[in-house]
Amino acid sequence: MLTLIEKILFAIAVLISLYFTWRGVERIIKLISSGQGQPDWKAAFKRIPKVLAKVVSFQPVFRFRFWPSLLHALIGWGFLVFLLVNLSDLIKGYTGFSILYQTGLFGDVYRLFADIANVAIIVGILAMAVRRFILRPATLSTRQTTLLDPKARIGISRDSFIVAAFIFVHNMSRFLGESFYLAENGLADRWQPAISTAARLWSGTDANALIIGEHAMWWISLGAVVAFLPYFPYSKHIHLFFAPLNIWMKPQRHSIGELKYLNLDDTSIEQFGAATMKDLGWEQVMDSYACIMCFRCQEVCPAYNTGKLLSPAALEINKRYNFNHGGGTDVPMLNLISEEAVWACTSCGACVDICPVGNEPMRDILDIRRNLVLTENKFPKQLENAFRGMERNANPWNVSQADRMKWADGLNVPTIETNPEPDILWWVGCAPATDARAQKTSQAFAKILSAAGVNYAVLGKNEQCTGDSARRAGREDIFFALATTNVEILNEVKPKRIVTTCPHCLHTIKNEYPAFGGNYTVIHHTQLINELVGAGKIHINLDGDNDNIKITFHDPCYLGRHNQIFDAPRDDLKSAGLQVIEMPRNGAKSFCCGAGGGQMWKEEENGTARVNSTRFAEAKSTGANTVAVGCPFCLTMMSDASKTDGGAIQVKDVAELVAERLK
């Protein structure tokens, strides 16, 4: 128990610490509040049980890097337990009363948890320190060519050292103090096995020395907390507070790739996209404080993995370091990320999907594109042809709408005019309607629908591009015009269900058209094929020679990560009697083909490899002789990579592979 003068001194130290801590926190609140928009509290409160489950289980962390994640979880779980342990120690210091040493099951069980947590934190932080400062894996940093605040290159390591030192000192001194207490009182507490073991080391030690040691450890343990608190708002450790908040308060979205609605009919709008940080949403500003600087987003980024300048981690870290060194939200976004890096993004969503704290760097990048294109009129010139095509002929291939149905010659495909009340409205998509290679997919799917006797129709010459490529390349005006017209047409048709042969069409109609008043049930063609097989409406010839055909399925980003459709295409292939071999990166962790985010219409930025070639090499490494896809963009990119490689491996859409085996 503390003396009166000690109690007064500690209380003064706490008040001083809290004052300076609050000053840091107050600045953070002001910075976040300066962002655009307001939290949706109604949606946030519905999320509470889900957020609590994630915080307690650390489930988002375990999706990647299992062993470091386990070490991180040991520290995190220990921290949750220590919230009460530290409170108990504080009360004990002022009153002599210890919650933990109360008789009964609660005191016993909590001492056990405290003992386990104490050891877990010490082991976890030592192992993490060895990893960062001795093993130093490249995944915990970024290349010198990446635009990263020079202060961050040194500051991240310094911050990690300060945080690690604080955690170790706080927990080790508490551990020693408790062991001194047990030794001083001649106790052996079976509910504190680790601390009791340490206490035996001090047997025979002078009682006064143990009392002094226990007293000193109390001051060091809780004194470390008091000393650390003012630094807390400036350290990466603040993610302990902002990570749960970030997950809890994010705006409700249909998908990780859904972009914010801009009403271009509103002539009062003066700012398009993000020129400076003040143009970002409040949640995008908060991302910088939730960031744990783990570089997981960078590790899965297809642009970074192929030597481009883009690092989504560096963007979030630069945002934080700008704030920590006195900067405000008026800093230009291109001070935080290079223009070349902005145009390297494929909008694959891998960075958003893998982030354990809910950050969305992809959203920042696409907002920067909006500003560059609409305000500055700056964009890669190769995009001009696609933009012109979407403006003049409602498709990026710039094919006349009069030729929109040429792909269906000889197939007797019904249009909405000839079949005004179909069960299924098939949104064919620009590529399957106009691109020679992708047309084989639409022709195969038409054969499947015919064989199954599906009551369907297409929009024919009334179908336009959904505007996905325009929106993700920054041309919100083109997207707005296409989306407005398409929703008008679809609302007039009133489709019962829409099926698409392109995941980008699926994503846009399903997740982004609701903002324009278009709410539809939308499925992918692989899902419909799966339904038809399950209902016995199409029959597969399993007597063919399928033994020599080994398939590996490439998950399209906008089918898998963005819309969580993973099983249907695989089930289709298995139903067709085909052997499916998985690539190392599959499902939600699939590697991009390189075409998304408008990349289909421009050359890749400079790097060490092409994204499609990198993915194709991964497919080839499985030993498969056919790559199956479910997206026309992926079909083009993987086919191009196959030709470069010699063409020995076929690339086909799932619909083609199923249609070839129809009875």
| Percent of the chain with pLDDT strictly greater than 70 | 100
Q: HSE, CB side, 13 Å, CA atoms: give it for residue 214.
A: 23
Domain boundary among 473, 499, 534: 534
Give me the CATH number covering residue 621.
Answer: 3.40.50
Domain of residue 582: give its range: 550-659
391 and 517 assigned to the same domain: yes
* In a domain? residue 440: yes
299 and 221 assigned to the same domain: no
Looking at the structure of the chain, the number of domains it has is: 4
Cβ(89)–Cβ(110) under 8 Å? no
* In a domain? residue 520: yes
Going by pLDDT thresholds of 50, 70 and 90, the confidence category of residue 228 is very high
* In a domain? residue 52: no
* In a domain? residue 70: yes
* In a domain? residue 566: yes
Helices (H), 138-192: 150-184
505 and 578 assigned to the same domain: no
* In a domain? residue 239: no
482 contact partners, CB below 8 Å, separation of at least 6: 390, 394, 464, 465, 466, 467, 470
* In a domain? residue 40: no
Instruction: Report the alpha-carbon distance of residue 27 to residue 482 in Å, rounded.
Output: 42
Q: Judge whether residue 307 has pLDDT over 70.
A: yes
408 and 476 assigned to the same domain: yes
pLDDT at 106: 86
Residue that is written with structure tokens 């079909």 in the block: 635
Across 418-440, average pLDDT: 97
Higher pLDDT, 97 or 582: 582
196 and 78 assigned to the same domain: yes
387 and 364 assigned to the same domain: no
Mean pLDDT over the full length of the chain:
95
Give the model confidence (pLDDT) of 254-304 as tens digits.
999 999 999 999 888 888 999 999 999 999 999 999 999 999 999 999 999
Integer CA distances (angstroms), 470 to 29, 373, 385, in order = 35, 11, 11
Residue that is written with structure tokens 């010198």 in the block: 144
Higher pLDDT, 541 or 432: 432
564 and 519 assigned to the same domain: no
Q: Judge whether residue 545 has pLDDT over 80.
A: no
Domain boundary among 374, 402, 428: 374
Q: Judge whether residue 195 has pLDDT over 90.
A: yes
* In a domain? residue 41: no
24 and 167 assigned to the same domain: yes
Cβ(309)–Cβ(344) under 8 Å? yes
Instruction: Report the alpha-carbon distance of residue 528 to residue 522 in Å, rounded.
Output: 10
Query: Nearest CA to 561 among 581, 590, 541?
Result: 590
139 and 275 assigned to the same domain: no
| Percent of the chain with pLDDT strictly greater than 90 | 93
pTM beyond 0.75: yes
17 and 141 assigned to the same domain: yes
Domain boundary among 484, 501, 534: 534
387 and 370 assigned to the same domain: no
Cβ(304)–Cβ(591) under 8 Å? no
pLDDT at 544: 67
Integer CA distances (angstroms), 173 to 167, 217, 218, 363, 408, in order = 10, 5, 7, 44, 76
Give the model confidence (pLDDT) of 105-144 as tens digits.
888 999 999 999 999 999 999 999 999 999 999 999 999 9
Instruction: Report the alpha-carbon distance of residue 342 to residue 609 in Å, rounded.
Output: 18
Q: Over 399-457, what HEC string results?
A: CCHHHCCHHHCCCCCCECCCCCCCCEEEECCHHHHHCCCCHHHHHHHHHHHHHHCCCEE
Dihedral sign for Cα atoms in the order 485, 487, 490, 491 = negative
Q: Judge whether residue 543 has pLDDT over 80.
A: no
90 and 194 assigned to the same domain: yes
Instruction: Report the alpha-carbon distance of residue 168 to residue 202 in Å, rounded.
Output: 21
Q: Judge whether residue 538 has pLDDT over 70.
A: yes
| Alpha-carbon dihedral angle through residues 83, 89, 90, 96, given to the nearest 10 degrees | 150
Residue 458 bridge partners (DSSP): 415, 426
Give me the CATH number covering residue 295.
Answer: 1.10.1060.10
